[in-house]
Structure 1
Amino acid sequence: MRKIITASLVSLSLSAGFAHAQSAWTGGDDLPTNPLACDGTPATPVASAYDGGEPTNAPDRKGKTIKVVDVPKLVGIGYFNATSKGIADAAAELGNMEAKTDGSTKANIDDQITLLDNYITSGVDGILFAANDPVAIAPVLKKALAAGINVVGYDANSEPDARQWFVNQAEFNGIAKAMIDSLAAEAGKDASFAIVTSTFTTPNQARWIAEMAAYQASCYPDMKWLETVEAQEDNILSFNQANTLINKYGPELKGILGMTSVATPASADAVTQAGKCGQVAVVGLATPNAMKPYVEKDCVKSVVLWNPVDLGYAAAYVLRAAADGDLKAGATSVKAGKLGELKVINGSEILLGAPYVFTKENIGQFDF
């Protein structure tokens, strides 16, 4: 998987830059990073050639009704319920797309591959996916492309040549800056913190963590990165992992960063039950509805995210544009219904927009 990228900084050199880091492993990947400026100066976009794949001998689908399957990391959680709603909303609005969501109740790459393979065999015109593993999922997605199926990713990417386009909810370095800045504002510029993620191989989370590492080392060198733990997108495991961190590090732990919509509310619950509100800051990626109880009680100050309904909606529009032949290699933007024109970045990615920080002042305005 290739992402945003100008500076060259691999995992060992990244970890060497963490103040007091305990080990070389952060849960991030070893790809180059591009940390944003500490003062918020916008990054200069770097043009790059299209690096996505192409369906082989795809039939003329322009304007015709197409059958699309959405296979997210897992089903049954608020976040992917929201992306599924966005896909359904777009399909209804377009009028020429039949879309369904199907997936495992666990974030399991083998289950995801099996589902995709079955849909390739049974026959669909388009596939939307959020990858559990960028490398492991690539062969089955390439099989779909070879069968003439349009393939678009969202939320969590595959290797670029295994799909046509990827709808990126926010640039990885932008998420990283929002997360670390929020932690610094709440827990201090020298805070000791830990991370609860799903798995070390989940592509978007690994990329966020790598960018967070680079940004923290540059802008908050006195912060202490204690540990990164896996929780498998599982509520009970996420709670237990956060509780273990609280007990393991005691008063040294000043913050927990949740990298998933499951880990963040579970970590907030663990902090609440431990009586550590105000002592351990919880900053993370989560849906507003899951976090409202903790935000309203002032146990959580900042929730970083984007609108996952819009993410699914945009992915459906991108797939429709690709199937119609309106979105081709070299494009600089794509029309996405009510979202307007979305930018093409990094060759084959469509950018939804900047991350949004939910607080007590604005979280009540959202319902997802």
Structure 2
Amino acid sequence: MSKTITGLLASAALAAGSLATPAFAEWTGGDDLPTNPLSCDGTPLETESVAYNGGAPKDPKAPEGELRVVDVPKLVGIGYFNATSSGVAEAAGEIEGVSATTDGPAQANIDDQITLIDNYITSGVNGILYASNDPVAIAPVLRKALDAGIHVVGYDSDAEPDARQWFVNPAQFNGVAKTLIDELAQQIGEAGAFAIVTSTFTTPNQARWIAEMEAYQAKCYPEMEWLETVEAQEDNILSFKQATTLINKYGEDMDGIVGMTSVATPAAAEATTQAGLCGEMTVMGLATPNAIRPYIKSGCMEGAVLWSPVDMGYAAMHVLQAAAEGRLEPGDTSVDVGRLGTLQIINGSEVLLGDPTVFNADNVDDFDF
């Protein structure tokens, strides 16, 4: 965590008494999709083959000169999407005839994201990469891009499948859910109580992870108590405030906090540190190793779960290029993505990056993102 962010969080802690208590919205499940919890003992589930369910650009034109790609993440200015952008840039740098730029909203705002994408459609780009803030709201502008002959590939958080061609899935939702709940149970016990700090209830990947976590926890750890799920907009200060409010609200009745974003998890660790509860309350969740390293070193966290966002951005750029060149077509079961080798295609139109990694004291110094 940067000194600036740490300072802001510390200031927020000192001023906690004068800040209004964040409003809590009630978690209702995020979406209406069915869940598919993995087995408690890790036995793989049998999966059926799914036909291609993505969209297609209308009469795509071969670019005159270089392939111009814009990368529109949920927001810019945080470590996670800085890492995805560096992966996009790395891939573009090794593919001849490709240029890529990143331009996202300053906050995780779907309206701003839609406006940006719409502007790039009219500016004449050949390809759009995106990480969606809302899967339904973003779909019309992505379909507009496809209708304009622009190649569209998502990563990190999806849109409605027919609004893009391919989606680079960092890890299967039920796999992330199992890893998070298993790690949490190991740290707080199979009958512990916990709360969740997420971005928004409509953010597609987080909504799916939480829904799958709820199903897996009910199946495999039925005595575990789920206290509350709250939103924090992927904002450092709000995430800190929400975690602090949870600590004050539940006290000793809460054994742990799970962060569902790379912002929420270190902010919850900072709130726990400021409350003097390191070693007494667990903080874990999804986070980049650089953000949680100080808290692992201080003993305030045992670990966190994630994948390489650099690799995800890198894969997304290669997938878009493969689609633009006709090397990746509906019905394919795998795709070659540069230094990552061959990746599997699942669920009709998703390119699976791989299994999540648990970052802990044994390996956190081996990563730099």
Normalising by the smaller structure, the TM-score range is: over 0.9
Give the C-alpha shift of residue 120 in structure 1: 0.2
Q: Contact between 2:27 and 2:230, CA under 8 Å: does it hold in 1?
A: no
Residues 169, 345 of structure 1: alpha-carbon distance in 2 compared, 3 angstrom cutoff: same
Q: Secondary structure at the match of 2:74?
A: coil
1:46 CA displacement: 2.1
5 Å-filtered alignment, 1:292-303, equals: 292-303=293-304
Q: Is the 8 A contact 2:332 2:345 kept in 1?
A: yes
Match of 1:30 in 2: 32
Counterpart residue identity of residue 40, structure 2? C
Give 5+ residue unaligned stretches, structure 1.
1-22
Alpha-carbon separation, structure 2, partners of 1:336 and 1:246: 44
User: Partner residue of 1:155?
Assistant: 156
**Mapped partners of 2:27, 2:368: distance in 1:** 36
Q: For 1:205-235, what per-residue CA distance to the aligned partner results, in whole angstroms no more than 9, with x for missing partners?
A: 0000000000000000001000000000100
1:97-149 Cα deviation digits (max 9, x unpaired): 10000011100000000000000011100000000000000000000000000
- Is the CA contact (8 Å cut-off) linking 2:191 and 2:221 kept in structure 1? yes
Equivalent residue number for residue 265 of structure 1 = 266
- Give how far 1:26 is off: 4.8
Q: Which segment is superposed worse, 40-49 or 283-292?
A: 40-49
Q: Deviations over 1:257-294 (max 9, x none)?
A: 10000000000000111011122111110110000000
Corresponding residue number in structure 2 for 1:12: none
Q: Which residue of 1 aligns with 2:131?
A: 130
8 Å CA contact retained: 1:70, 1:99? yes
Pair 1:26–1:216, CA change in 2 (3 A): farther
**Alignment partner, residue 144 of structure 1:** 145
Whole-angstrom distance in 1 between the partners of 2:33 and 2:287: 25
The residue identity in structure 2 corresponding to 1:351 is L
* Residue of structure 2 equivalent to 1:5: none
Query: Which residue number corresponds to residue 60 of structure 1?
Result: 62
Paired with 2:145 and 2:68, the residues of 1 have a C-alpha distance of: 14
CA contact (8 A) 1:239 1:270 kept: yes
Aligned residue in 2 for 1:17: none
| Offset at residue 297 of structure 1 (A) | 1.3
User: Is the CA contact 1:28–1:208 (under 8 Å) kept in the aligned structure 2?
Assistant: no
Q: Distance in 2 between matches of 1:74 and 1:25?
A: 23
Aligned partner letter, 1:44: E
- Contact 1:52–1:165, Cα closer than 8 Å, also in 2: yes
* Cα pair 2:334 2:345 within 8 Å, conserved: yes
Residue 19 of structure 2 corresponds to none
* 2:181 alignment partner, SS class: helix
Alpha-carbon distance change, 43 to 191 in structure 1, aligned in 2, over 3 angstroms: same
Equivalent in the alignment of 1:93: 94
CA contact (8 A) 1:258 1:285 kept: yes
* Equivalent position amino acid for 1:57 in 2: D
Q: Is the 8 A contact 2:55 2:163 kept in 1?
A: yes
Question: What whole-Å deviation, never above 9, does each CA across 1:282-323 have from its counterpart, x for those lacking one?
Answer: 111011000000011111112100000000000000000000
What amino acid is aligned across from residue 342 of structure 2 in structure 1? E
Match of 2:112? 111
Q: 1: distance between equivalents of 2:213 and 2:97? A: 41
Please tell me the residue identity of whatever aligns with 1:51.
Answer: N
Match of 2:246, SS state, is: helix
Question: 1:282: which partner in 2?
Answer: 283
Distance 2:136 2:285 in 1: 26
Deviation at 1:60, TM superposition (A): 3.0
Matches within 5 A, 1:239-250: 239-250=240-251
Q: Which residue of 1 aligns with 2:193?
A: 192
Q: One-letter code of the match for 2:48?
A: V
Give the counterpart letter for 2:317 in structure 1.
A
Deviations 1:14-57 (A, max 9, x none): xxxxxxxxx98355322101101100112223210100000001
CA separation in 1, counterparts of 2:57 and 2:158?
Answer: 17
Identity of aligned residues (%): 68
Q: Which amino acid is the alignment partner of residue 206 of structure 1?
A: A
| Matches of 1:188 and 1:28, distance apart in 2 | 26
Match runs of 1:307-318 below 5 Å: 307-318=308-319
2-side partners of 1:148 and 1:45: how far apart? 33
Shift, 1:173, TM fit: 0.4
Q: Number of residues paired by the alignment?
A: 345
With 271-280 and 163-172 compared, the bigger mean Cα shift is at 271-280
Shift of 1:64: 6.0
8 Å contact 1:254–1:281 — kept in the other structure? yes
Give per-residue Cα distances to partners, 1:155-185, cap 9 Å, x unaligned.
0000000000000000000100010001000
CA distance in structure 2 between the aligned counterparts of 1:319 and 1:174, rounded to whole angstroms: 25
Task: Compute the RMSD of aligned alpha carbons.
Answer: 1.3
| Structure 1 residue identity aligned to 2:251 | G
2:230 corresponds in structure 1 to: 229
**SS at structure 2 position matched to 1:194:** strand
1:89 to partner: Cα distance: 0.2
Matched, 1:256 2:257: yes
Tell whether 2:349 aligns with 1:348: yes
SS of the counterpart of 1:53?
coil
Unaligned runs of 5+ in 2: 1-24
- In structure 1, how many angstroms separate the alpha carbons of the residues matched to 2:338 and 2:250? 48
Partner Cα separation in structure 1 for residue 320 and residue 136 of structure 2: 22
